[in-house]
Amino acid sequence: MGEDKRDPSDEGREEPFFKPLEFNFSKWSIGGKLIFISTLIAILSLLLPWIGGDAEAEMGFLQGASVFLALYIYPFFILAQDKRMNRAIGVLSSILAIVLPMTFLYYMSRELRQPMSDIISYGLIIFILAGILLIIGVLRYVPYDRERGTLRKEETPKRGKPCPDCDNPMEYEEEWERWFCEECDEYK
Ligand SMILES: [Zn+2]
């Protein structure tokens, strides 16, 4: 009465929607590490002043800057769950993590009637730099496979699935998460 053990092949392996959060820093891809580091930097930036000039130079989170941290939630949770990232959502979040603080700066400069260069303070600059790291991290992120203890890309070369129309082996394009058939010259 042995257990029915199947080959752990990636095809058809169902992923639970929500996995426990785990922090396997040393196992993560360079992209994963960058996401983690940029999130920490972004959080720390809130302890520094964001807007200076004639305004009271208070810590960023007292100046309402913590809302921008919401843009880190998606990449950070994908990382902490070792899941596949939807590149479009990840890139959009990280671009907004740069653009929205700049919009905030612009708004504050009109509010205070001072040029942006006079009122920008360390916290805001550091948050924007963290956003740049976040974009790089999102683009280079490769999920860690907890069951196998390796990065997924190395372990599962995604090729060879036959095309449903012409039976030619297709290539898996990691970036777009879609299969491509060279014979048909189209995505499947
Ligand atoms: Zn085909």
174-177 LR contacts (CB < 8 Å, sep 24+) = 175/87, 176/87, 177/84, 177/86, 177/87
30 C-beta neighbours (distance < 10 Å), count: 12
Please state the domain extents for the chain: 25-145, 157-187
Chain centroid to Cα 70, Å, comes to 12
- Tell me how far the alpha carbon of residue 12 lies from the centroid of ligand 1, in angstroms: 21
- Tell me how far the alpha carbon of residue 137 lies from the centroid of ligand 1, in angstroms: 33
Q: Which residues contact 160 (CB under 8 A, 6 or more apart)?
A: 169, 170
Q: 156-185 burial by CB neighbour count: b if 16+ within 10 A, else e?
A: bebeeeebeeeeeebeeeeeeeebbbeeee
Claim: this prediction has a pTM higher than 0.85: no
- Tell me how far the alpha carbon of residue 32 lies from the centroid of ligand 1, in angstroms: 34
- Tell me how far the alpha carbon of residue 153 lies from the centroid of ligand 1, in angstroms: 24
- Reading the chain (188 residues) residue by residue, the pLDDT tens digits are 434 444 444 544 567 778 888 898 999 999 999 999 999 999 999 999 999 876 666 777 777 888 999 999 999 999 999 999 999 999 999 999 999 999 999 999 998 899 999 999 999 999 999 999 999 999 999 999 888 888 886 445 566 789 999 999 888 877 677 888 989 999 88
- Tell me how far the alpha carbon of residue 176 lies from the centroid of ligand 1, in angstroms: 18
